A and B are shown apart, each in its own frame.
Chain A
Amino acid sequence: NAGVMQNPRHLVRRRGQEARLRCSPMKGHSHVYWYRQLPEEGLKFMVYLQKENIIDESGMPKERFSAEFPKEGPSILRIQQVVRGDSAAYFCASSPKSKETEAFFGQGTRLTVV
């Protein structure tokens, strides 16, 4: 049973480009959470999704960031027109239901904006 899979592990983008981060939840998990870790900081909640629904996006910046979790395929975190301040590690977690006590994290995607 594969764990939460995130790809790519490392992503380099120039300022102004788009970044797409993918997360495949564990088998049987229908809930996905995205967190961002800035350098020297803990993880900060961004968004919580169920299949085809955004449940809570209170931690998402209002502009340039979007997330989806389609009926088929991985969850996508999309950052448009990236800026240097977007450089961070982005983590995805999944759970079988709305219980973070059963959430498992992926290995993260490190985004570097140059």
Chain B
Amino acid sequence: AQTVTQSQPEMSVQEAETVTLSCTYDTSENNYYLFWYKQPPSRQMILVIRQEAYKQQNATENRFSVNFQKAAKSFSLKISDSQLGDTAMYFCAFSGGSNYKLTFGKGTLLTVNP
């Protein structure tokens, strides 16, 4: 069974600074996808970024980028130039060869302070 671990229950960062959220996972599969989702107070689950395991290049989406270390089974999210609207719960998620079932970590509550 796959597991996803987010070891930081809460983090805070000053506006305009950079913050990195950690995620590790465990799987025996070779082909899989990794995701970061954002859940603001509205509770909507918003896909921030995704990474395909067979791609060595780290995914980036504007201010969001990942550091994917396949051998270490690590998938951290870096948020640059943090904005107040980035305040939310962030969930790391995994999807394996079955390609439809997402396994989520417990989340990291990120607070961006003015």
Task: Mark A residues whose CB is within 8 Å of B.
Answer: 31, 33, 35, 40-45, 48, 56, 59, 89, 91, 93, 95, 98-101, 103-105, 107-108, 110
Contact = CB atoms under 8 A, between A and B. Distances in A.
* Most chain A CB atoms below 10 A, which of B44, B99, B102, B104: B102
Contact of B101 (A42, A48, A107): A48
Nearest to A89: B43
Interface residues of B, number: 22
A48 B102 CA distance: 11
Given A100-B33, A100-B95, A100-B99, A44 B104 contact: yes
A62 B45 CA distance: 27
Interface of B: 4, 33, 37, 42-47, 50, 91, 93, 95, 99-107
28 contacts: A33-B100, A33-B101, A33-B102, A41-B106, A41-B107, A42-B91, A42-B106, A42-B107, A43-B45, A43-B91, A44-B104, A45-B102, A45-B103, A48-B100, A48-B101, A89-B43, A91-B45, A93-B45, A99-B99, A100-B33, A100-B95, A100-B100, A100-B101, A100-B102, A101-B95, A103-B102, A107-B43, A107-B44
Contacts of A107: 42-44
